[in-house]
Amino acid sequence: MSFLRPVAMAKVGLIGLKDDREALVTVLHDLGVVQVEPLGKEAAALLEAEHGGESQRAVADELLRFRGLKSALPAVPDGRTRSFPTLGDVLAETRRVPIDDEVRSLKVEEDRLLSERTALTDTIDLLRRFPFYTDRLEYLSGRNLLAFFGEAKPEIYARLKTEVPAMSDAVFLEQIGPERARFVLAVRTEHADTVGRLAQSRGTTLVAAPRLTGTPAEVLPKIEGERAVIETRLGEIRARLAAISREWYPIVAQLEEALTIESRKLEAWTRMGAGARTFAIEGWAPRRELPQLESAVGRASGGRAHLYQIPSTERGPTLMDNPPGIRWYEFFIKFYALPQPDEWDPTFLFALVFPIFFGLMLGDMGYGLVILVISLWMIAGFPGAARLPRALKSVPRSVMSTWGMRSLAFTLVPGCAVAIGVGFVFNEFFGFHVLPFTLFEPRGAAGIAFLLKLAGFIGLALVSIGFALGALKEYFHGHRRQAGGKVAGIAFAWGVAFAGLSLLQHGTGSLVPSGANPLAGVYWALAVGGIVGLIAGEGGQGAMAIMEVVSHILSHTRLVGILLASVIFALVINTVFVANIGSGVAWKVGLAIVILIAGQLFNIVIGVFEPGIQGLRLMFVENFSKYYEGNGRPFRPFGSRRTFTTPAPIPAPAAAAAPAPPNPA
């Protein structure tokens, strides 16, 4: 795990003999710690591009074959896994699977029967929906005649009935109900397209009459019998596929996964360079993994391959590796921008500050408990969600994936705990005072003044931390002047903050340096020195930072604004409820209950979104802007997730040969 920094990366190269290439590529794949990259210019100039050749074609053909088999067979995994030491072992095993012809034949027949069943079902449904037509069906088709079944709202049908005859010699048979009108429409062949377009423009779909012989009463039993025969045969096919699957699905799944892995390994060959007997590959790996990687390469090649670090000024990929509890907040950082590998990872700071912001802005025991329960329900996997209305289930999932909602729920739990604690101090429970004591009253002038000062100091602290991280980043990158500019930003922020606080408490006279007020000189020195340092260190960007510092500090007063907005809204709802609940008038009592429930639900929804969005904004804008660049590229190691196979063990180095006995001669 790393703290405040992405995992340190190293660019590495591997050179070895072609005889060891398959084993070495397998090691790189199974370790899953190297992101394979195209060869650099220096190596590419000395080596030729490599290709998978015949092996890649063979794997591609077999992979296509086994993916088809796996999709055709019903899944019957047995939980066992298998290891394939070499590509030759995989290909040899594929030749022992003899079920292709039978499975293909069964699936072709099944697809054909499913199409026929669908057509028969549609015909049966059509004839049953139009029971008023009892004549022979062959009357609805002819050389110069086309007939259609249709249904529409009565008012739309009335318009069609007047418009269609005007353009063709149409004949209607109809059954008009209170909500739907069903009809049979017969037109000349040359007018069919025109009538169809007109019906479509009116929102009515016409279905061509089936070409059958006999009346619906005669045809329906025959069609239903044909469908029953098809159902019987489909059952036989599925039973046979199930029997085949019980015997062969595990090996098919194992081989499909093994071939997928081999295909991915062969794709890595296209990023290699090759000589007559050697090959080379380059990539990025975490520095902490280099000893393990070097040891594995040595064992797989018998010491014949060489792993080395490549000096590079290129920015590598980014791998974030925070502690388990902090890791959930990577969701927000990645949503904003992935950090560069050589800058700060703000996830830890975000995980500490965001719950405080969220809880302070929510500030109510009741709201905190409701959101906490919902969050725990999301973490548990939405038990009982099947009984919810479809709208409640579909709307959240259209905005965010299930994994995303679960990640969000984990990040909200600490914020809810803070909200419950703040609500206890404020004695707020859905806007009611329920405790016999109040530790702090946020609604009075004194309470608001204190909270505003607290928000200001929080803003000062976060802005200062942002400048400090920015100064360290610039220093580590060798930008001493810019680092000095960031330090000057801290000085300016503190000078302006304490000057403003002194002005609010003691008036304008407190800003004039004097023997009675020596601290005024310190405020001015920090502020003026900060301005000079910012401009000297960062130029025009520093001049913009001067204006931003004050606004970024004051921006944190929104913590108090959102808290008070929630408190006052709950107070208004509760006041209306209390004023009407005791009136004794039934409709007023009912209205009061509706207002209370609807208003509190609305405040809960606002309590999730507004503190969440504003908390994110305060971190992304007021803090990240001082040090965070972002736009990193994710670390994507060369490897695969395994379900049905296991990696082959890395071979141990060959034992040294025993010394020969002395020659008696």
Q: Out of 27-41, 176-190, 609-623, which region has the weakest mean confidence (pLDDT)?
A: 176-190
The SS3 of residue 184 is: strand
- Between CA 318 and CA 340 the distance in angstroms is 6
Is the same domain home to 574 and 540? yes
CATH number of the CATH domain containing 205 = 3.30.70.2750
Q: What is the mean pLDDT of residues 462-485?
A: 92
> Is the torsion defined by CA of 176, 182, 186, 187 positive or negative?
positive
- Determine the pLDDT at residue 659: 43
Question: Which of 110-114, 301-305, 389-393, 585-589 has the weakest average pLDDT?
Answer: 389-393
pLDDT band, very low/low/confident/very high, at 355 (cuts 50, 70, 90): very high
Distance CA 181, CA 129 (A): 11
pLDDT band at residue 116 under the 50/70/90 scheme: very high
3-class state of residue 215 by DSSP: coil
Average pLDDT over residues 147-158: 90
Asked if residue 376 and residue 241 are part of one domain, the reply reads: no
Angle (deg, nearest 10), helices 480-506 and 445-476? 170
For residue 506, is pLDDT > 80?
no
What is the reported pTM?
0.78
In a domain, 574, yes or no: yes
Q: How many CA atoms lie within 13 A of 318 on its CB side?
A: 23
Q: Can you give the pLDDT at residue 544?
A: 80
The DSSP code for 202 is T
Whether 79 and 223 share a structural domain: no
Determine the Cα–Cα distance for residues 528 and 537; give it in Å rounded to an integer. Answer: 14
What is the number of domains present in the chain? 3
Does 665 score more than 50 pLDDT?
no
Total residues belonging to the chain: 665
Tell whether the model's pLDDT for residue 83 goes beyond 70.
Answer: yes
pLDDT of residue 269: 85
What whole-number percentage of the chain has pLDDT above 70? 92
**pLDDT score of 510:** 61
Residues 613 and 479 in one domain: yes
Bridge partners for 181 per DSSP: 152, 176
Q: For residues 207 and 213, what is the distance between their CA atoms, to the nearest angstrom?
A: 18
Strands 9-17 and 306-309: antiparallel
On the question of pLDDT at 655 being above 50, the answer is no
Q: Are 286 and 7 in contact (CB under 8 A)?
A: yes
CA neighbor of 410 nearest in space, from 321, 327, 323, 319: 327
Q: Are residues 466 and 611 in the same domain?
A: yes
Do residues 444 and 564 share a domain? yes
Answer whether residue 643 is part of any domain.
no
pLDDT value for 511: 65
632: in domain = no
If you average pLDDT over residues 329-354, what whole number do you get?
A: 93
Return the percentage of the chain with pLDDT > 90, whole number. 60
Boundary of a domain, candidates 165, 200, 228: 228
Beta bridge partners of 171: 186
Question: What's the pLDDT score for residue 166?
Answer: 67
C-alpha 271/C-alpha 283 separation (Å) is 10
Under 8 Å between Cβ of 65 and 100 = yes
Both tokens of 460, joined, read: 């000062």
Band (168; pLDDT cuts 50, 70, 90): low
Looking at 228, 255, 279, the residue that finishes a domain is 228
pLDDT at 660 over 70: no
Is residue 150 within 8 A of residue 202, CB to CB? The reply is no
Indicate if 160 and 90 belong to the same structural domain.
Answer: no
Question: Helix, strand, or coil here: 307?
Answer: strand
Q: What is the pLDDT of residue 400?
A: 67
Domain of 124? Answer: 109-228
Query: Is residue 651 in a domain?
Result: no
Tens of pLDDT, residues 262-286: 999 998 888 888 888 999 999 999 9
Same domain assignment for residues 124 and 252: no
For residue 1, is it within any domain?
A: no
Mean pLDDT, residues 192-202 taken together: 87
Residues 288, 210: one domain?
no
